[in-house]
Amino acid sequence: MPSRTPDAVTEPAWAPPAGRPPLSARMMRATWRGLPAKRYEAGWEPGLVVPAADGSPLVTDHYFPRAEGDFPTLLVRSPYGRGLPWSAMYGLLFAEQGFHVVLQSCRGTGGSGGAFDLWRNEAADGRATVSWLRGQPWFDGTLGTVGPSYLGYVQWALALEPPPELKAMVVQVGLHDPCALFHTDGALRLENALAVGVGMTYQHQGVAAFLRATLRLQRRLRAVTTAQPLRGAYVSALGGEVPWLDDVMSHPNAKDAYWHGASSAQAADRLRVPTALITGWHDALADQTFEQYGRLRRAGCETALLVGPWTHTSALQRGWPQVFAESLAWLRAHLHADPSGLRPTAVRVHMGGENAWRDLDDWPPAGAATSWYPAPGGHLTELAPTDRAPLASFRYDPADPTPSLGGPLLSRTAGPRDNSGLEARDDVLTFTGPPLTEPVDILGPVSARLSISTDTGHADVFTRLCDVDAQGRSVNICDGLGRVRTAEGTPSQITVPMSATAHRFPVGHRIRWQISGGAHPRYARGSGTGAPPVDATTFVPVRLTLHTDSALALPRGSGPTT
């Protein structure tokens, strides 16, 4: 790598008249603290046109180190525009560290031609962009990719048929399966769907347009999410029809032909490109990241995993200094042949409850799960029941749906929250263990086995793990939702995945299991009839009864604390 100082600026021979990166990006750059010192001054070549495979123009900005020498290239493809924050976080920062950065607007967004589709064009457009790169005088044949959320999806799409130049990937809070973003076990992730609709429709139009649209959705959220039917109700909040949003909301079954080709999960099954993964415990896409990691490890691909105390958005805000440092170290190791910044283990996770980091050899770490059982009086115990008797019941009323509170969302309301008020509702069951006399560490995937009967045969069940402190504050750790289908009065057993966690329950705290009939508007409210969520117009209250042969499975684990 050339040895340069930031004040030693030499324009490369190929460079256009030197253009400084946009003022907005430089101003944002000045607000960050805790980032590595820059190595080069950055240049900017905006408004390049890259032809897609079908000839559609893909508008592209090129950031580069203003210095002589060869530098690897990072491809960043986004449907959210090329302005803030992407121009600063990816264009400017990585160019200052010695990378060419190609920041491109996906088709149908940010001035690029063609029509945006949620997934159908990304693989071909990514390959066309790499073909264009091969003809650029500054491209040295070494390519990496980086980016969050949908910017992660385009990386997986390119990795389905990875070009030979691709030497490293960094997928931050990333997506690979659009269906799983919008649906869980047939239940519509309503709040996520609306948030994605706003982001995809307005963010590429600029910060002001995006903020106006976000505020409009917040004002109209209740009206939209309680409409009968849901189909088309979003139009007033989003300012018009969004055809792809109608489609994704209307197809809850991942096996439906509509979703054919949407998931790029299989890319990880045969990938040989070193790939770093970053997520947060309250990231709406955390489960997809854990799946990516598992697939890559089974394929023998070099990979690393960082899980912080973040939501989908806070990973790129308060978590950004650490996320950037992790990403930069991985890209330097595999594109600059400089492994000095890599950490010694494959996995680093933030341990909730003790505010510390743990380095692990793998995820999940080895360790057996322990079962906790609900007991009369709202108790939670490790003593297994001796029967399958009814234990407790509650009435879920779609006219007054159990509200959602925090958790893994795309919005600013995500994350840990005090659940005490929610748990005081009549439609929420809680089972709480005794004060702990020694710490309990949970590391790995959490799940619930529920034995449930209903009086209508159709219900949703939301299940959540909480940490209750000595003052009675109940904070959500992880959760999940499943759908129950039963013959009237006959219990049915379902297993509900509740994502994963790394959390220490300290001495004096209590473990709590929370159970309800939904979490609205995070999930579309259950109708009680089994009707598709977007089409339901008849809503029937449901009585759910929990039986004693239910259990909460908590993975016990350990590892060194850093």
pLDDT per position as a tens digit, 69-79? 999 999 999 99
Q: Which of 24-28, 400-404, 508-512 has the lowest mean pLDDT?
A: 24-28
Which whole number is the average pLDDT over 544-560? 86
Which whole number is the average pLDDT over 316-335? 96
What's the confidence (pLDDT) of residue 15? 66
Hey, what are 201's tokens? 């429709």
2 pLDDT higher than 70: no
What's the confidence (pLDDT) of residue 124? 96
Distance between CA atoms of 398 and 540, rounded to whole angstroms? 7
What's the confidence (pLDDT) of residue 5? 44
Which whole number is the average pLDDT over 82-106? 96
**Which carries the bigger pLDDT value, residue 283 or residue 556?**
283
What's the confidence (pLDDT) of residue 92? 96
Banded model confidence at residue 4, pLDDT cuts 50, 70, 90: very low
Banded model confidence at residue 272, pLDDT cuts 50, 70, 90: very high
284, 285, 289, 281: which is closest to 309 by C-alpha? 281
Which whole number is the average pLDDT over 487-499? 87
Banded model confidence at residue 415, pLDDT cuts 50, 70, 90: very high
Bridge partners for 542 per DSSP? 396
Distance between CA atoms of 477 and 407, rounded to whole angstroms? 8
Percent of the chain surpassing pLDDT 90: 82
Q: Which CATH number fits domain 1-141: 1.10.8.60, 3.40.50.1820, 3.20.20.150, 3.30.830.10?
A: 3.40.50.1820
**Which carries the bigger pLDDT value, residue 232 or residue 11?**
232
Q: What is the CA radius of gyration of the chain?
A: 25
Dump pLDDT digits (tens) for 448-487: 999 999 998 899 999 999 999 999 999 999 999 999 988 7
560 pLDDT higher than 70: no
Q: What is the largest CA-CA distance in the chain?
A: 80
Contacts of 378 (CB under 8 A, 6+ apart): 392, 429, 430, 431, 432
**Which carries the bigger pLDDT value, residue 533 or residue 332?**
332
101 pLDDT higher than 70: yes
Hey, what are 264's tokens? 């790029």
Contacts of 156 (CB under 8 A, 6+ apart): 171, 174, 175, 176, 264, 265, 267, 268, 292
What's the confidence (pLDDT) of residue 30? 85
Banded model confidence at residue 279, pLDDT cuts 50, 70, 90: very high
3 pLDDT higher than 70: no
What's the confidence (pLDDT) of residue 17? 62
Domain 369-555 falls in which CATH fold?
Answer: Jelly Rolls (2.60.120)
Whole-structure pTM value: 0.94
60, 66, 67: which is closest to 136 by C-alpha? 60
Hey, what are 374's tokens? 């609900």
Q: Output the CA torsion 285→461→225→473 (10° steps).
A: -80
The string of DSSP letters for 288-318 reads HHHHHHHHHHHTT--EEEEEEEEETTGGGTT
Number of helical H runs and strand E runs in the chain: 13, 23
Length of the chain in residues, anyone?
562
Q: What is the mean pLDDT of the chain?
A: 93
Distance between CA atoms of 36 and 544, rounded to whole angstroms? 54
Fold: same for 1-141 and 145-177+268-363: yes
| Cβ proximity of 168 and 144 under 8 Å | yes
What's the confidence (pLDDT) of residue 427? 97
Type and span of the H or E element at 483: strand 474-485
Residue 543: CA count within 13 A, CB half-sphere = 8
Contacts of 542 (CB under 8 A, 6+ apart): 395, 396, 454, 455, 456, 458, 459, 517, 526, 528
Domain 145-177+268-363 falls in which CATH fold?
Answer: Rossmann fold (3.40.50)
What's the confidence (pLDDT) of residue 19? 81
Banded model confidence at residue 8, pLDDT cuts 50, 70, 90: low
169 pLDDT higher than 70: yes
Q: Which of 103-112, 244-253, 421-430, 464-473 has the lowest mean pLDDT?
A: 244-253
Contacts of 3 (CB under 8 A, 6+ apart): none
If you ran DSSP here, which 8-state letter would residue 556 be given? B
301 pLDDT higher than 90: yes
**Which carries the bigger pLDDT value, residue 206 or residue 378?**
378
The two beta strands, 369-375 and 379-381, are antiparallel
If you ran DSSP here, which 8-state letter would residue 204 be given? G
What's the confidence (pLDDT) of residue 558? 56
Domain borders along the chain are 1-141, 145-177+268-363, 181-257, 369-555
Percent of the chain surpassing pLDDT 70: 96
